[in-house]
Structure 1
Amino acid sequence: MAQVLSLKTAGAHPAPEAPRRYLGDVLVSSGRLAREQIDAALRAQRGQNSLLGTILVVEGLLSQDALTDALSEQSGLGRADLDTAPPDPILLQGVDPLVCLRLDAIPWRKRGGRLEIAIVNPANGPAAIAAFGPATLALASPDALRTTITRAFGARMRRHASHRCPKRLSCRSLVRSGFSRRKAALAIGLAGGILAAPLAALNIALAWLLVANLSNVVLRGVALATRLRRGPQPVASAPKLVDSRRLPRVSVLVPLWREARVAEQLLDALGAMEYPAPLLDIKLVLEEEDLTTRAAIDRCTLPPTIDIVTVPSGALRTKPLAMNYALPFCRGEVIGIYDAEDRPDPGQLRAIVHHLMDASPDVACVQGYLDFYNDRKNWMSRSFTIEYAVWFRVFLTGVQRLGLPIPLGGTTVFFRRRMLEEIGAWDAHNVTEDADLGMRLARFGYRCEMIPTTTLEEANCVGAAAWIGQRSRWNKGYALTWASHMRRPLRLWRDLGWKGFLSFQVLFLGSLTASAAIPFYWLTAFVALGLDVPVWAHVPPLMVWALLLTGATGSVLMITAANVGLRDRASRGRWGWTIAFLPLYWLLAAAAVYRALWEVFTDPFHWTKTEHGLDP
């Protein structure tokens, strides 16, 4: 049986003449805490958007169960033991689980013909009664209530997470998993056209590659010039007006799948974050069937700032679906993402929050820099490091300064929660949900800004196959994102404006095409050096030299950007030979594009897992 103390409210509010009892007074009078401890917590509360009870629990001065007992004594409400007496399933029919999570309340049972609601915070009582009907209230612990909500509504919440993104903007309504008649007809049509007129097909393909690469060169050249003209992103050092305001609560989502090897390292990195603990709400998002990661987490002692959210099993398993599922469990006004292997700068959260508080209202999110801690492991990790330095420190920074939408990274990106929810959160079916989200925010009139704070990751450097697998997922997501947003080109033009529309084409379709074109550029160069390729005799000489010129120009831009990015990164040592061999690295990128195009037809929603913790 549940332990229910006297419900003094009986569904009514306390008598007006009853003196109000403060939580601190209850804790002192009951001997749980000293007055000095309460006063210190109240002083800390003045600069935080946090409840007194939360501060006391996070600081280790009070257990969660002791806090619930004190709230029961303060409010006169009884206790609801949801573990031994779960809610009546009949009462949950038609109840919205998102409302339950927002209010931290759930219809519990009927006693004497009257509804009883289990609730965490007595202050939410009036809102819970307004949502579920006239009732008496009983207090439950936060963990027990959220576990109860998960058990009762997990399958329904998973379905909601998979369809949260609007259908017109999601790739789920664009393609079907596996081959279909439409895909087969398209493939047969393309193959038939190439076989019927191979030389014409070759020239058309080369012309398209030339146009796409030229567009890439122009955008990257302008972005590089903008970045060079204005210098690197300035790091804020002087105090600002925002420093005197109350800091918001920040929720951090950390999706995990088969990450037992890095679990301890992850918790160490999260524990080093320099942000007021009562305002930190970290959610480790685990898949129900991932027992090894769960066991690794269970072997560690989690602080009160870290909770586990378990995603119920289902056919679709992607990072964006897991984040959509976990989002309603978050308590923060700012929502951030980290990956399992991340080691963020300890001061990163405070820098990000201050940037958002100081930014204009249309700034929906900020993106930090990504870098690698195993940058000198081998040639592949060095090349990967150069690529990230170019992408985050040079090109994305330059594109953002041009006022163009940027494709976001999958980690170290933080959102204003209201705007994230307004646009439908993440597309659960898109395997590069981050890049898609950057474009969707822009379509809703919001901006994303780069911020000079760095998170270190583990470079995928254990072999070409693993690297190509990871990159093919990114490329496949780029292809799906382009096709999804281009279903209505005129509407996309209106949403982004002509500059945003053109940059979207270059960033997504142009990038894919440029990578796919790399073998053709190599072949063109060999032909120019005297290699006899009979079919190339039918390619106009002007086309050949134009391809060579754009390819050479693009290479010079990349080498220049690599030096700028490495300088900003304060890289020391000999990187010249790595830069010289980047063309070989780009051949791997071409292989990844061709694999991605194959998977668009065969398995568009498959999430190729990147293994972490392989490099000690």
Structure 2
Amino acid sequence: MARHAARKPLGQILHERAAVAPGDLLKALALRERQDVRLGDILLAHGWVRDTDLMAALASQWDASVVDLEAEPPDPRLIDRIGAAECLRHAMVPWRRVGGTTIIATARPEDFLGLRHTLPATLAPFAMVLAPEREIHAALLAQRQTGLIRAAETRVPPAESCRTRNEPRLARIALTTLAGLALGLWVAPMAVFGLLVFWAVLTLAATNALKLAAFLAEVIGRARDRRCPRPPAAAIARLPVVSILIALYREDDIAARLVARLAKLHYPRELLDVMLIVEEGDATTRAALNRACLPGWMRIVTVPNGPVKTKPRALNFALNFARGSIIGVYDAEDAPHPDQIHTVVRRFHDRGPEVACLQGVLDFYNPRTNWIARCFTIEYASWFRSLLPGLARLGLVVPLGGTTLFFRRAALERLGGWDAHNVTEDADLGVRLARYGYRTELIPTVTEEEANCRILPWVRQRSRWQKGFAMTWGVHMRDPILLWRQLGAWRFFGFQVMFLASLSQYLLAPVLWSVWVLTLGLWHPLSEMMGAGPLIALSALFLASEAITLVVAAWAVRGRKHRFLLPWVPVLNVYLPLGTLSAWKAMYEVITCPFYWDKTAHGLFDTDPTDAPVPVPVRR
């Protein structure tokens, strides 16, 4: 310990070597006092020091050698003794075994003393050498790439992942169900059609009851928050590092704009760890990012090819390389509010560890493109400004939105990250968070993205979401009794309504549309089965459901920014039926291609007015 106390400070060594300007060094030292980050990372993030100069200074400070891992790769057998993922977590790699001593190459020499006590005792004793973190990552990938990518595909336990679904069995069930319905409609058409109407009406009542309850909970909750605001929280002593994961695939048309938008975030650059995740075979996106001149706080993570190519698989792989204690997720077309990361950090600081996820509000920056864009904006406003906050206030499962998500890293890793085979990994993760006792909260910070405003792409995108909802429901209902125990009765029924009933509504919408003819006095298969009383009750339910949808939508767009959309709220009656087309497409794909990711094209109507160029520091 005495030797450690007498060690010459890194800043002094850099100053003596003239490796950093005195003014930059003073600013870095001041930043380190209030941030949970190393001095070297601050200097590198701002481009105030070269990587080679920093490593030479660290070698002098710790009296250690710097090794070239590219010229002298580590021993893969030693990596297997510790585990590649564990090596990545600590930015180190076992390099050689010489004379009975295991030599560890690390980018964090200050952590070596504590680290060696966590390593396998059979490898002791240990000695330290230094290597840049990027070289350690590259060496681990070169040696154990296949293992890391397979781990990314299977991080979630089999019982909680849709990768273990029995496709032949599911196909048989689906075909048997369709055959049974066809036979029933031929043998007893009135009974079968009546059963379909009953289920459609039941799910209609359930979904609208949940929508109304969530809406009232949010309205009342906001009023209560205004009357009794929370007391100001204690100041944050040291700001944490936040890693932002952004999965890109064939995004050459939006990469430069994404870099410019992220550069507007106000969070300190040395505490931002932005990871642009690119598939190995996606040369166009990587070339576009190289043209964008990435600053030091952004880096590219290349995901090796594999049998599954999905966003959650890419996120799982990149999670190994993240430096932050908070993990955020953005989409390629996102334009987050500049103060968003500060809002996230403050909320996590104010809440206990049971709040493991924060969901931001999603909005669109092209709502005036056409009528689909306007309706999509209204739908998103209802979902993110009313329904999701209301579900959180009611203590129900919150199906996450896929972007502007932030997690406590410890909780995310405990759950195994994302299900690499689920095409709505966000909604699935929201359910698993609830099952493990964590809470999700909505935060009043907005990320704008591009509205999908062409009919066929809209149907394809919506079908992927609905397919994922169906698969998520199927996965978590493998053991209904266990799910009931983990969620409790209230959240269990909320889960059924949110996933099963809402999907049933889209699938059976034509059945409900046919019932409208009864209100017009026309003949219907149920004409003889329904008297005046049931017909009046059914008409009242239909009118009430329409009123709830319109009232929630109008309330959600009442603000100054969205007020121009109020006259378009009634058009939702024309827009929402598109979901029936996508739902039947989704059911077909659940059987034929469950893991197919129907990608949404971005940058086609990209008219964000805030996209003026922003100067970003260049890596030195």
Q: 2:504 & 2:318 partners in 1: Cα distance?
A: 35
Question: Are residues 1:169 and 2:160 paired?
Answer: yes
Work out the number of aligned pairs and report it.
600
The one of 136, 146, 153 equivalent to 2:137 is: 146
The CA RMSD measured in Å over matched residues stands at: 2.4
- Secondary structure of 1:231's aligned partner: helix
Question: Are residues 1:464 and 2:455 paired?
Answer: yes
Shift of 1:243: 3.0
Distance 1:283 1:553, change over 3 A: same
Q: 1:344 & 1:232 partners in 2: Cα distance?
A: 27
Q: 2:534 & 2:249 partners in 1: Cα distance?
A: 48
Deviations 1:336-374 (A, max 9, x none): 100000000010000111011001331111111000000
Q: Which moved more, 1:28-37 or 1:403-412?
A: 28-37
Distance 1:590 1:180, change over 3 A: closer
Equivalence for 1:510:
501
Equivalence for 2:598:
608
Equivalence for 1:7:
none
Shift of 1:579: 1.5
Question: Are residues 1:107 and 2:94 paired?
Answer: yes
Equivalence for 2:615:
none
Report % sequence identity.
Answer: 41
Shift of 1:524: 1.8
Shift of 1:322: 1.0
Shift of 1:537: 3.6
Distance 1:113 1:228, change over 3 A: closer
Equivalence for 2:417:
425
Equivalence for 1:327:
319
The one of 288, 297, 312 equivalent to 1:305 is: 297
Q: 1:86 & 1:545 partners in 2: Cα distance?
A: 78
The one of 583, 591, 598 equivalent to 2:573 is: 583
Q: 2:346 & 2:301 partners in 1: Cα distance?
A: 28
Shift of 1:603: 1.4
- What TM-score, normalized by structure 1, do the two folds share? 0.92
Shift of 1:546: 4.1
- What TM-score, normalized by structure 2, do the two folds share? 0.91
Shift of 1:227: 2.1
- 1:141 alignment partner AA: P
Write out aligned runs for 1:333-352 (5 A): 333-352=325-344
Deviations 1:146-166 (A, max 9, x none): 111112112111111111112
Runs of 5+ in structure 1 lacking a partner?
A: 1-13
Q: 2:229 & 2:54 partners in 1: Cα distance?
A: 39
Shift of 1:185: 4.2
Equivalent pair of 2:101/2:124 in contact (CA under 8 Å):
no
- Secondary structure of 1:79's aligned partner: coil
Shift of 1:77: 1.1
Equivalence for 2:212:
221
The one of 529, 534, 547 equivalent to 2:520 is: 529
Equivalent pair of 1:393/1:565 in contact (CA under 8 Å):
yes
Question: Are residues 1:33 and 2:20 paired?
Answer: yes
Equivalence for 1:296:
288
Equivalence for 2:613:
none
Equivalent pair of 2:374/2:565 in contact (CA under 8 Å):
no
Q: 1:532 & 1:610 partners in 2: Cα distance?
A: 43
Runs of 5+ in structure 2 lacking a partner?
A: 607-620
Question: Are residues 1:382 and 2:374 paired?
Answer: yes
Equivalence for 2:75:
88
- 2:215 alignment partner AA: L
Equivalence for 2:240:
248
Deviations 1:418-453 (A, max 9, x none): 111112211111111111111111111111011111
Equivalence for 2:616:
none
Q: 2:176 & 2:467 partners in 1: Cα distance?
A: 20
Equivalent pair of 2:190/2:526 in contact (CA under 8 Å):
no
- 2:205 alignment partner AA: L
- Secondary structure of 2:253's aligned partner: helix
Q: Which moved more, 1:590-599 or 1:170-179?
A: 170-179
Write out aligned runs for 1:341-380 (5 A): 341-380=333-372
Shift of 1:36: 4.5
The one of 145, 151, 160 equivalent to 1:160 is: 151
Shift of 1:78: 1.1
Equivalence for 1:9:
none
Equivalence for 1:79:
66
Q: Which moved more, 1:554-563 or 1:507-516?
A: 507-516
Q: 2:301 & 2:534 partners in 1: Cα distance?
A: 56
Question: Are residues 1:136 and 2:127 paired?
Answer: yes
Shift of 1:557: 0.6
Shift of 1:604: 1.4
- 1:589 alignment partner AA: G
Equivalent pair of 2:325/2:409 in contact (CA under 8 Å):
yes
Write out aligned runs for 1:179-190 (5 A): 180-190=171-181
- Secondary structure of 1:479's aligned partner: helix
Equivalent pair of 1:234/1:452 in contact (CA under 8 Å):
no
The one of 464, 488, 505 equivalent to 1:497 is: 488
Distance 1:502 1:239, change over 3 A: closer
Distance 1:487 1:158, change over 3 A: same
Equivalent pair of 1:406/1:439 in contact (CA under 8 Å):
yes
Equivalent pair of 2:95/2:104 in contact (CA under 8 Å):
yes
Distance 1:37 1:47, change over 3 A: same
Write out aligned runs for 1:189-228 (5 A): 189-228=180-219
Distance 1:399 1:239, change over 3 A: closer
The one of 435, 440, 445 equivalent to 1:448 is: 440
Equivalence for 2:589:
599
Q: 2:169 & 2:447 partners in 1: Cα distance?
A: 36
Shift of 1:54: 0.8
Equivalent pair of 1:178/1:602 in contact (CA under 8 Å):
no
Question: Are residues 1:68 and 2:55 paired?
Answer: yes
The one of 49, 52, 63 equivalent to 2:39 is: 52
- 2:91 alignment partner AA: D
- 2:258 alignment partner AA: L
Equivalent pair of 1:441/1:447 in contact (CA under 8 Å):
yes
Q: 1:115 & 1:358 partners in 2: Cα distance?
A: 43
- Secondary structure of 1:559's aligned partner: helix
- 1:266 alignment partner AA: L
- Secondary structure of 1:309's aligned partner: strand
Distance 1:244 1:362, change over 3 A: closer
Distance 1:242 1:280, change over 3 A: farther
The one of 563, 567, 571 equivalent to 2:562 is: 571
Equivalence for 1:438:
430
Distance 1:229 1:89, change over 3 A: closer
Distance 1:50 1:177, change over 3 A: farther
Equivalent pair of 1:199/1:538 in contact (CA under 8 Å):
no
Equivalent pair of 1:68/1:140 in contact (CA under 8 Å):
yes
Write out aligned runs for 1:237-276 (5 A): 240-276=232-268
Q: 2:248 & 2:414 partners in 1: Cα distance?
A: 25
- 2:253 alignment partner AA: R
Distance 1:63 1:580, change over 3 A: same
Q: Which moved more, 1:103-112 or 1:464-473?
A: 103-112
Distance 1:379 1:16, change over 3 A: closer
Equivalent pair of 1:177/1:602 in contact (CA under 8 Å):
no
Equivalent pair of 2:21/2:48 in contact (CA under 8 Å):
no
- Secondary structure of 2:578's aligned partner: helix
Equivalent pair of 1:397/1:450 in contact (CA under 8 Å):
yes
- Secondary structure of 1:289's aligned partner: coil
Q: 1:15 & 1:110 partners in 2: Cα distance?
A: 28
Q: 1:178 & 1:284 partners in 2: Cα distance?
A: 38
Deviations 1:247-305 (A, max 9, x none): 11111110111111110111111111110111111111111111111111111211111
Distance 1:88 1:388, change over 3 A: same
Shift of 1:520: 2.5
